Amino acid sequence: EAGVAQSPRYKIIEKRQSVAFWCNPISGHATLYWYQQILGQGPKLLIQFQNNGVVDDSQLPKDRFSAERLKGVDSTLKIQPAKLEDSAVYLCASSAQDGRPNTEAFFGQGTRLTVV
Amino acid sequence: EDKVVQSPLSLVVHEGDTVTLNCSYEVTNFRSLLWYKQEKKAPTFLFMLTSSGIEKKSGRLSSILDKKELFSILNITATQTGDSAIYLCAVITSGTYKYIFGTGTRLKVLA
Q: What are phi and psi of A85, to 5 degrees?
A: -75, -5
Task: Spell out which residues of chain B touch residue A97, defining contact as CB-CB under 8 Å.
Answer: 97
Q: How confident is the model at residue A101 (pLDDT cuts 50, 70, 90)?
A: low
- pLDDT digit string (tens) for B8-64? 999 999 999 999 999 999 998 899 999 999 998 789 999 999 989 899 999 999 999
List helix spans (H) across chain A.
Answer: none
The answer to whether A97 faces chain B, any CB pair under 8 Å, is yes
For testing the chain A interface, which of B29, B41, B56, B101 should be mutated: the one with the most A CBs within 10 Å? B41
What element of type H or E holds A8? none
Residue A25 has pLDDT above 90, yes or no: yes
Distance of CA B61 to the CA centre of its chain: 10
Give me the pLDDT at residue A70, please. Answer: 81
CB contact under 8 A, B88 and A43: yes
Q: CA–CA separation, B30 vs B66, rounded Å?
A: 12
CB contact under 8 A, A41 and B34: no
Please give the C-alpha separations between residue A80 and each of A19, A43, A52, A56, B3, in angstroms, as whole numbers.
Answer: 7, 21, 22, 20, 29
- pLDDT digit string (tens) for A43-97? 999 999 988 899 999 999 999 999 999 888 999 999 999 999 999 999 999 998 6
CB contact under 8 A, B48 and A91: no
**Distance, in angstroms, between A38 CA and closest chain B CA?**
10
What residue in A sits closest to B99 (Cα-Cα)? A45
List helix spans (H) across A5-61.
Answer: none
Please report the sign of the dihedral spanned by the C-alpha atoms of residue B87, residue A101, residue A26, residue A35.
Answer: negative
Residue A2 has pLDDT above 80, yes or no: no
Q: How confident is the model at residue B68 (pLDDT cuts 50, 70, 90)?
A: very high
Give me the pLDDT at residue B77, please. Answer: 98
Give me the pLDDT at residue A6, please. Answer: 97
The answer to whether B30 faces chain A, any CB pair under 8 Å, is no
Give me the pLDDT at residue A85, please. Answer: 96
Stretch B92-105: mean pLDDT: 88
Under DSSP, the state recorded for B55 is P
